[in-house]
Amino acid sequence: MIAPEGIPFVLGAAAATAALWFLWPKSVPLAAVALLLTVFMAWFFRDPERIPPAEPGAVISPADGKIVFCGDCPPGRYSPEPGKMVSVFMSVFDVHVNRAPVSGKVASVRYNPGKFLAANVEKASLENEQNGVALETAGGRKVSYVQIAGLIARRIVCYLSEGDIVKQGQRVGMIRFGSRVDVFLPASAVLRVKKGDRVRAGESIVGVLP
């Protein structure tokens, strides 16, 4: 499957390939480059099916990528009380479709404009353009995730609005061309990952709520 946001990119690259191949006979090398771009776009915007684990209390990763931070965090913009945070960095080679870390109700959606620093540096969590979504589980627990734009990523897509009901693993948005997603958990949560681990959206457990 290809994410809906990627269809215009794939069709545009395919149209350029066809135009170069059929309308400009001397442009075979350019047509080959355009074909490679078409394949890359289709691959980049891929949207594979994922099956969330059945473990009670599990908080799953909202993004594919590498863990660049995992540990305690002080009160802040998305965590009014001390808690725990897991940060996932998505390179251009990772799937960029984001998924809900838990099932529950959307308590808030907050967009904050900002910079476009490299998403794998710690200060990107505070200074970069971002969109934060707070979810409240049926047990009253709050889990938030924040989509953060990066050096190349300049487009954050969020499918949710305040009051929506979401299911764990549900597609909730994406970020184009490399970025980062932070997950905020209660202080009582037990983390299941460490810095440097690779995770998959909708499948990998990053923490467990008591």
**Residue 29's pLDDT is what?**
81
Question: H or E stretch including 100?
Answer: none
Q: Which residues are catalytic?
A: 179
- Residue 15: give the domain boundaries: 4-44
**Is residue 51, in this structure, part of any structural domain at all?**
no
Shared-domain flag, residues 119 and 187: yes
Phi, psi of 13 (to 5 degrees): -65, -40
Residuewise pLDDT in 10s, the chain (210 residues): 887 777 887 888 888 888 888 777 667 788 888 888 888 878 878 889 999 998 999 999 999 999 999 999 988 778 788 999 999 998 888 888 999 999 999 999 998 876 655 555 565 566 678 899 999 999 889 999 999 886 655 578 899 999 999 999 999 998 876 688 999 999 999 999 999 999 999 999 999 998
Sign, CA torsion 163/3/177/168: positive
**Residue 25's pLDDT is what?**
66
Q: Say if strands 156-158 and 142-148 run parallel, antiparallel, or are unpaired.
A: unpaired
Shared-domain flag, residues 168 and 66: yes
**Is residue 185, in this structure, part of any structural domain at all?**
yes
Shared-domain flag, residues 17 and 106: no
Question: How far is 198 from 209, CA to CA, in rounded Å?
Answer: 21
Shared-domain flag, residues 75 and 107: yes
Shared-domain flag, residues 78 and 15: no
Question: How far is 14 from 34, CA to CA, in rounded Å?
Answer: 7
**CATH number assigned to the domain comprising residue 148:** 2.70.70
Of 99, 109, 106, nearest in space to 168 by CA: 99
Q: What tokens were used for 209?
A: 């709520």
Of 6, 16, 74, 80, nearest in space to 43 by CA: 6
Shared-domain flag, residues 62 and 36: no
Shared-domain flag, residues 72 and 141: yes
Query: Number of structural domains, the chain?
Result: 2
Shared-domain flag, residues 95 and 191: yes
Shared-domain flag, residues 39 and 66: no
**Residue 103's pLDDT is what?**
96
**Is residue 142, in this structure, part of any structural domain at all?**
yes
**Residue 31's pLDDT is what?**
82
| CB atoms closer than 10 angstroms to residue 25 | 9
Question: How far is 82 from 170, CA to CA, in rounded Å?
Answer: 27
Shared-domain flag, residues 131 and 169: yes
